[in-house]
Amino acid sequence: MNLPHHPSLQYVKMSAPYTIVYDLDGTLVDTAPDLLHTLNTVLDRFGYPHANPDDIGNLVGHGAKAMLERALSVIGKPQDPALISSLFDEFLNHYVDNLTRHGSQPYPHVVETIDAFHKAGVAQGICTNKFQTGADGLLAELNLTHYFPTVLGGNALSVRKPDPLHITETVRRLGGTLDHAVMVGDSRNDSAAALGAGIPVIIVSYGYTSEPPHKLDADIVIDSFDELPGAIKAVTGRNLLA
């Protein structure tokens, strides 16, 4: 597969490991229970009605501040900057103390699949719009940190997905190259960033998105995480577990 090289970064093509870059929320971990609980706790403190669980696909994926802005829009409340700032501070303070308290956990087959890639020497990293403290804390509580030497949260750089530099910098820090990398995510942010970086993108169908997964410009869509090794082989021609 001939993939375009992103012009903004220079990569040394030597014996770099194959690199898998993952989104976090909705791809590796079902974080909806704790995100929604925190969101509704904050809305309740400010006297606003709760967000509906059915709206989670419209709320998650752009970071906590965007989540709050979208939640206010859904419930028909005004969005002045001072209000968003107050809600944001409350959200972060509550969420970091409740990252997994209400049931956030890896999706089925995630742990055994990333463990197999780890044992095979595949470089794995995370590129997420979740704020850095939340991403690091979540991985630590779920005992997943050791699988991901590079985790770039939404506030780690001056850009975030869908900007492709969020992905290319993740690959660079993993010691990888763009022609030996693939993105795995669940949303338009993931597919747009991967396409901009010139790498294949695999979308999971079970994540948080308001768009049908098959319309996200993915190279392939999978319904279960244990399909990932075969999907990577299908889009790259490489069996990473061989």
Specify the pLDDT at position 11.
35
| pLDDT tier at 13, thresholds 50, 70, 90 | very low
Catalytic annotation, pick one of 23, 30, 186, 190 = 23
Of 65, 95, 125, the residue at which a domain comes to its end is: 95
Q: Would you say the C-alpha torsion 144, 145, 151, 153 has a positive or negative sign?
A: positive
Tell which residue, 173, 125, 176, has the closest CA to residue 146: 125
Do both 41 and 23 map to the same domain? no
Contact 186, 22 (CB under 8 A): no
**CATH code at position 57:** 1.10.150.240
| pLDDT tier at 9, thresholds 50, 70, 90 | very low
Specify the pLDDT at position 4.
34
Q: What are the structure tokens assigned to 130, written together?
A: 């979740």
Residue 14 belongs to some domain of the structure = no
Model confidence at 95: pLDDT above 80: yes
Known catalytic residue: 23? yes
Residue 217 belongs to some domain of the structure = yes
Q: What is the DSSP string of 73-141?
A: HHTT----HHHHHHHHHHHHHHHTT-SSTT--EEPTTHHHHHHHHHHTT-EEEEE-SS-HHHHHHHHHH
Specify the pLDDT at position 16.
63
Q: What is the mean pLDDT of residues 52-68?
A: 75
Radius of gyration of the chain (CA): 18
Do both 185 and 112 map to the same domain? yes
What is the C-alpha separation between 137 and 141, in angstroms, rounded? 6
Of 95, 124, 143, the residue at which a domain comes to its end is: 95
Tell which residue, 3, 25, 28, has the closest CA to residue 176: 3
Contact 144, 177 (CB under 8 A): no
Contact 115, 229 (CB under 8 A): no
Per-residue pLDDT of 155-204, as tens digits, reads: 999 999 999 999 999 999 999 999 999 999 999 999 999 999 999 999 99
Q: How many domains does the chain have?
A: 2
Q: What is the mean pLDDT of residues 44-52?
A: 84
Q: What are the structure tokens assigned to 223, written together?
A: 């319904």
Model confidence at 138: pLDDT above 70: yes
* pTM of the shown model: 0.88
Q: What percentage of residues in the chain have a pLDDT greater than 90?
A: 67
Specify the pLDDT at position 47.
86
Specify the pLDDT at position 7.
35
Specify the pLDDT at position 3.
33
Q: Would you say the C-alpha torsion 33, 137, 24, 236 has a positive or negative sign?
A: negative
Q: What is the mean pLDDT of residues 96-100?
A: 95
Residue 13 belongs to some domain of the structure = no
Do both 140 and 225 map to the same domain? yes
Residue 5 belongs to some domain of the structure = no
Which residue bears the tokens 């290319």? 168
User: What one-letter code names the amino acid at 205?
Assistant: S
